[in-house]
C-alpha cells in the first residue's frame, strides 16, 4: 500500500505531467537558431521599405529574413560534417557540385543555390540604381536586344514562361557575350558554366503578398527598381 506521502507525491507527478508536456511542446515550437556555420545571411544594402511601392516592405522582410535565412541555415546544416567543404565559398560549391558527396549534393544545390541567388538578387535591386544601362553594359545588352522595349518584353516573356518556381537571368557566356535564360527551382547559371549578371526571382514567395498570382505585374514592377549602377560594375568585373 502507498503511504500518504507516496500517494501525494504520485498525484503531484501525475498532475504535473501534462504541464511538463505542454512546456516541452512549447519549447520545441520556439524557432531554432540557425546552426553556426561558415555561411551567413548578408544584410540588405537598403531598408526593407526602400523598394516601395514596387516591392512591399512585408515581402522584403519575409523574403530576406525567412526564405533566404532558411537557405543559409539549411546549407550550413548540410555541411556540418564536411569541414573541407565548409572552407569553400558558395560559388565554389556550386561550380564543383560533382565533387560534393552524393548524400548532400541535392541539399547543397538547392540551399547553396538559394543562398547564392538571393545574395545576388538583393544587390540587383535599389531605389537609386539609375534609369537604365549605360556605357559598356548598354553596348553588350545592345547585341542581345535592339532596345529597352525589346529587352523588357523578352525578359517578361522568359519570366512568364518559367513553369513553377525559378529564376530569370541575364548571364555572361564564356565568350563574354550575354544570354537571357531561366532556371528552375534554385538552380544557378553557374551550374552550366555561366556567370549570372542579373537574376530575378520568380518564385511566388517573391510577389504573392502584393501581386498574388500576377507574375506579369511583379516583373514589370522589378523594372522600376533595378540597380543599374551595381550591374554596370558587375559586368565590368565579369567581362574583364
Ligand atoms: Fe526567393
Cα 96 to ligand 1 centre (Å): 23
What phi-psi label fits residue 164: left (phi over 0), alpha (psi between -120 and 50 degrees) or beta?
Answer: left
Structure confidence by residue, pLDDT tens digits, 200-231: 999 999 999 999 999 999 999 999 999 999 99
Q: Which domains does the chain have, with CATH numbers?
A: 57-124 (1.10.287.990), 135-239 (3.55.40.20)
Alpha carbons 67 and 77: distance in angstroms, whole number: 15
What's the pLDDT score for residue 118?
98
- For residue 188, the Cα-to-chain-centroid distance in whole angstroms is 11
Q: Are 184 and 162 in contact (CB under 8 A)?
A: yes
Cα 66 to ligand 1 centre (Å): 10
The DSSP bridge pattern shows strands 178-184 and 166-172 to be antiparallel
Alpha carbons 225 and 240: distance in angstroms, whole number: 26
Cα 63 to ligand 1 centre (Å): 6
Please, what is the angle between helix 228-239 and helix 135-144, to 10°? 80
Cα 50 to ligand 1 centre (Å): 17
Rg of the chain taking only CA atoms, in angstroms: 24
- Cα within 13 Å of Cα(10), Cβ side: 7
Structure confidence by residue, pLDDT tens digits, 175-201: 999 999 999 999 999 999 999 999 999
What's the pLDDT score for residue 4?
47
Strands (E), the chain: 166-172, 178-184, 195-201
Mean pLDDT for back-to-back runs of 10 residues, the chain (240 residues): 45 36 33 68 95 97 96 96 96 97 98 98 96 94 96 98 97 97 98 97 97 97 97 96
Cα 162 to ligand 1 centre (Å): 14
What's the pLDDT score for residue 36?
73
Residue 235: closest CA among 189, 183, 173, 186: 173
What's the pLDDT score for residue 35?
53
Alpha carbons 174 and 8: distance in angstroms, whole number: 78
Amino acid at each position: 500500500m502507498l503511504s500518504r506521502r507516496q500517494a501525494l507525491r504520485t498525484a503531484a507527478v501525475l498532475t504535473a505531467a501534462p504541464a511538463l508536456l505542454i512546456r516541452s511542446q512549447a519549447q520545441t515550437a520556439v524557432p531554432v537558431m540557425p546552426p553556426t556555420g561558415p555561411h551567413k545571411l548578408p544584410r540588405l544594402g537598403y531598408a526593407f521599405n526602400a523598394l516601395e511601392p514596387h516591392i512591399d516592405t512585408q515581402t522584403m522582410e519575409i523574403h530576406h529574413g525567412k526564405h533566404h535565412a532558411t537557405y543559409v541555415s539549411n546549407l550550413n546544416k548540410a555541411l556540418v560534417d564536411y569541414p573541407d567543404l565548409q572552407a569553400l565559398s558558395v560559388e565554389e560549391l556550386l561550380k564543383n557540385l560533382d565533387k560534393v558527396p552524393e548524400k548532400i549534393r541535392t541539399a547543397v544545390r538547392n540551399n547553396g543555390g538559394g543562398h547564392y541567388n538571393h545574395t545576388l538578387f538583393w544587390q540587383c535591386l535599389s531605389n537609386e540604381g539609375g534609369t537604365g544601362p549605360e556605357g559598356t553594359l548598354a553596348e553588350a545588352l545592345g547585341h542581345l536586344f535592339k532596345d529597352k522595349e525589346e529587352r523588357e518584353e523578352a525578359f517578361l516573356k522568359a519570366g512568364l514562361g518559367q513553369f513553377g518556381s525559378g529564376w530569370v537571368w541575364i548571364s555572361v557566356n564564356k565568350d563574354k557575350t550575354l544570354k537571357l535564360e531561366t532556371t528552375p527551382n534554385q538552380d544557378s547559371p553557374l551550374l552550366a558554366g555561366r556567370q549570372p549578371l542579373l537574376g530575378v526571382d520568380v518564385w511566388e514567395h517573391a510577389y504573392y503578398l502584393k501581386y498574388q498570382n500576377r507574375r506579369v505585374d511583379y516583373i514589370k514592377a522589378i523594372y522600376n527598381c533595378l540597380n543599374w549602377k551595381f550591374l554596370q560594375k558587375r559586368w565590368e568585373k565579369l567581362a574583364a
